[in-house]
Structure 1
Amino acid sequence: MAQLREFTYPSSDGVHAIHAQEWVPQVPLRGVVQIVHGVAEHMGRYEGAAAFLAEHGYLVCGEDHLGHGKTAQQGEEGFFGEKDGWSLVTRDVAALRKLQGEKYPDQPYFLLGHSMGSFLTRTYLINYPGTLTGVILSGTGQESAPLVALGKWLAGLERRRLGHRGISPLVDKLSLGAYNRKFAPNRTGADWISRDESQVDAYLADPYCQYQSTVSMFEAMMGGLQYIAKKENLSRMDPSTPVYFFSGDQDPVGGMGKGVKKVVEMFRQAGCRDVTLRLYPGGRHEMFHELNAPEVLDDLLAWLEEHRGNA
């Protein structure tokens, strides 16, 4: 059993206390895995994966982003900030990496980003090259540049109409709503995240997942997607950092596998020398909550064990 510790540290916005947690192994430490969670969720949802990794000697940590989980104050759900929201959250991720690195020096250190967290992790790779033993990207993708630009423009238009904290049914329908339509007829509004109905129901019942993103947060995320697609930015990554991509081949965020392969190719063209891709047949967006989650975790552990010596 892992020992769960919760703590806070100052956000880069100078206002909030970021809520973080770590699962500490009760066996000799083999490395640290920092998880960067996705949109409209929180670190508590990674308890199963964290317990598995801790059982095998990996300390798992992560924070609830601004506007998420226990970091968000009432009325702030789905809201990063009025200005530079993407930069603020990336800096909060980097602050936790620094904090944990000081607590556990000389340990292999991995960053694992899921969905929006994978976009933040890709931003981290550009902004903080050479600070990680390896990187894991789950449920990532890359929409075409015109589509991302259109999404950002539309979100900006809605922000001017509704304010920074406004909620736009139109923006939500064109983003997360579009993902679910691929699995019609739908049992729920979140069929796209997993084939495991019990996991979908748990997600829908989670009080920290029951809100829509603000238009300013969506606009910030589209700006982030533009940033991580630019070749000149990708060239700033450390090409020696190993990267492990895994996704379901029925994940709409990853374009049913095509978008994931696109990002893999972007990394290889940027000179990354150790890039691994694993696509799981039939898997949807959240492979840690899929029917074959044990297989996914076993594969992740094998990759960590193979690469921990790079520290």
Structure 2
Amino acid sequence: MREKYRGFWLKAEDGHDIYLHAWDQVDNPRGILQIFHGMAEHGKRYEGFAQYMNEHGFIVYADDHRGHGRTAGSLENIGYIGEDGFNKLVQDEYLISKFLKEKYPWLPLFIVAHSFGSFVAQEYIIRYGWGINGLVLSGSAAMNTLKAKLGYILASIERLIHGEKYRSRFLDWLSFGTFNRRIKNNPSKFAWLSTDEKEVRKYEEDPYCGGIFTTGFFYYLSRGFLGLYRPERLANLPKDLPILIIAGEEDPVGEYGRLVKRLYNIYKEAGCQNVDLKLYPGKRHELFNEVNREEVYADVLNWLDCITGK
């Protein structure tokens, strides 16, 4: 009997070892999904979604980003993505895309990117969007430029004073400290992730999830934000790339839908011709771990069916 899951290592351009999760035992596959996971988590958390997509003809791969999961090398390294880490993550994902296209040259390639991974994907499609067949952005947003500049300045100061590997409770609070404010009697600091309390507990109990990240992480991420929405860079977007943006209406990352709609409008104003948006009432940040996740899975599948012409 074939194993439905396997893990393996892939060497990045700079020699860094990247860990990949693969759900690739699919009879008569019709496409590949490459998952970009979020901050303070890892690729194995998408197993339920991957198995669902396997059943409907899609091969699925998800890496552990630098500073995350098994790629970090140890729990002590979780949260440190290295010098120029945001750009290196983008390059890692492009390397994985090339690996998948060489392995399955006859299959279309789609990216599914969540939260922090969605910002990596926003940069990815500016550089390499012509090489994929579609993109799903989950828990994403158009970052507020003024907030991004302030974050960059503060992260620069913390980095200068404490160094890149310093775990900044201040920057963590600045990023996430208000995320539970609309949740009454919240049982967890991570309640904003999902209305499914079992999934929130799983996150809390996972040693690879939820830690305080380093000043270097916040510095390179905020620097990356500053280049995402410049008109001259958005002009590089492939105008015919299908994009699906999904988010919970109670997701604080997208300011409860406001910054999600802004992202949709940015892409439409940039000339992208095939952009769809769906907001889920009452749902929070991790749609793939929400109480209605089967609905979310089916919505992504239906969108893929439209793209592939099934």
Same structural fold, with TM-score higher than 0.5 when normalized by the shorter chain: yes
1:155 paired residue number: 155
1:113/1:138 contact within 8 Å kept: yes
Aligned length: 308
Deviations 1:117-164 (A, max 9, x none): 000011110011310110100000123211110011111111111110
1:200 paired residue number: 200
Q: What is the DSSP-based 3-state SS (H/G/I as helix, E as strand, rest coil) of the residue aligned with 1:140?
A: coil
1:108/1:309 contact within 8 Å kept: no
Q: What is the DSSP-based 3-state SS (H/G/I as helix, E as strand, rest coil) of the residue aligned with 1:238?
A: coil
2:26/2:59 contact within 8 Å kept: no
Whole-angstrom distance in 2 between the partners of 1:2 and 1:106: 23
2:26/2:58 contact within 8 Å kept: no
Aligned-pair CA distance for 1:233: 1.1
Whole-angstrom distance in 2 between the partners of 1:57 and 1:142: 32
1:219 paired residue number: 219
2:181 corresponds to 1:181 = yes
Aligned-pair CA distance for 1:80: 1.0
1:283 paired residue number: 283
Change over 3 Å in CA distance of 1:210–1:116 after alignment to 2: closer
Whole-angstrom distance in 2 between the partners of 1:301 and 1:38: 21
2:77 paired residue number: 76
**Amino-acid identity (%):** 38
Whole-angstrom distance in 2 between the partners of 1:183 and 1:224: 30
Aligned-pair CA distance for 1:232: 1.3
1:267 paired residue number: 267
2:199/2:289 contact within 8 Å kept: yes
1:98 paired residue number: 98
Where does the alignment leave 5 or more consecutive residues of structure 1 unmatched? none
2:46 paired residue number: 46
2:253 corresponds to 1:253 = yes
1:238 paired residue number: 238
Deviations 1:29-61 (A, max 9, x none): 010000000101000100000000011110010
Deviations 1:196-239 (A, max 9, x none): 00000000001111421111111111112111121211110101
Aligned-pair CA distance for 1:182: 3.3
Q: What is the DSSP-based 3-state SS (H/G/I as helix, E as strand, rest coil) of the residue aligned with 2:283?
A: coil
Whole-angstrom distance in 1 between the partners of 2:239 and 2:193: 31
2:56 paired residue number: 56
2:10 paired residue number: 9
1:27/1:56 contact within 8 Å kept: no
Aligned-pair CA distance for 1:184: 4.4
TM-score by length of 2: 0.96
Whole-angstrom distance in 2 between the partners of 1:117 and 1:129: 15
Paired amino acid for 2:53: L
Paired amino acid for 2:26: Q
Aligned-pair CA distance for 1:114: 0.2
Paired amino acid for 1:47: E
1:24 paired residue number: 24
Paired amino acid for 1:136: V
Whole-angstrom distance in 2 between the partners of 1:244 and 1:238: 14
Q: What is the DSSP-based 3-state SS (H/G/I as helix, E as strand, rest coil) of the residue aligned with 1:45?
A: helix
2:180 corresponds to 1:168 = no
TM-score by length of 1: 0.96
Whole-angstrom distance in 2 between the partners of 1:172 and 1:228: 22
Please identify, of 177-186 and 230-239, the stretch whose mean Cα deviation from structure 2 is larger.
177-186
Where does the alignment leave 5 or more consecutive residues of structure 2 unmatched? none
Aligned-pair CA distance for 1:286: 0.4
- Across the aligned residues of Structure 1 and Structure 2, the Cα RMSD in angstroms comes to 1.4
1:180/1:192 contact within 8 Å kept: yes
Whole-angstrom distance in 2 between the partners of 1:62 and 1:309: 25
Whole-angstrom distance in 1 between the partners of 2:28 and 2:127: 32
Whole-angstrom distance in 1 between the partners of 2:182 and 2:233: 32
Q: What is the DSSP-based 3-state SS (H/G/I as helix, E as strand, rest coil) of the residue aligned with 2:179?
A: helix
1:33 paired residue number: 33
